[in-house]
Amino acid sequence: MKVEVAYARPDVQVILEVELPEGATAEEAIRASGILERFPEIDLAEQKVGIFGKVAPLSRALNTWDRVEIYRGLIADPKAARRQRAEKDKQGGTKAAGKSGPAVKPDKASLASSNGKASAP
């Protein structure tokens, strides 16, 4: 059966096709592809792998044309990165398309007090 093994870094993405016997595992596909020799930074003991975007164990049996993906670790914690961006926004550190904040629609009471006419911005 044919499967693909995929790995991506910021500078390069690789998808390798591998021919394996029926019942082969994700780990067997990775080892047969030669990707571990091509990218010595890959550490299967530390990095997660998946099939079509879903994390799977190395022992997972594959089906024809499955794509085994080797995932890199995150550079930054997503929560911490969002928190830092929000803090930077509060301090006026970004200009989001010239907008200073969220748009606010006038409520009915303020429209009624101006005779039902909203003023132009």
Answer yes or no: is 91 within a domain. no
pTM, full prediction? 0.62
Q: How many domains does the chain have?
A: 1
Share of the chain above pLDDT 90, in %: 58
Going by C-alpha positions, the residue among 38, 37, 3 that lies closest to residue 18 is: 3
Answer yes or no: is 83 within a domain. no
Name the residue with higher pLDDT: 70 or 72: 70
Report pLDDT for 8: 94
Measured CA to CA, the distance from residue 21 to residue 13 in angstroms comes to: 26
Report pLDDT for 84: 81
Answer yes or no: is 24 within a domain. yes
Answer yes or no: is 30 within a domain. yes
Determine the structural domain holding residue 36 and report its residue range.
2-70
pLDDT in tens, 32-46: 999 999 999 999 999
CATH number at residue 21: 3.10.20.30
Going by C-alpha positions, the residue among 49, 54, 10 that lies closest to residue 29 is: 49
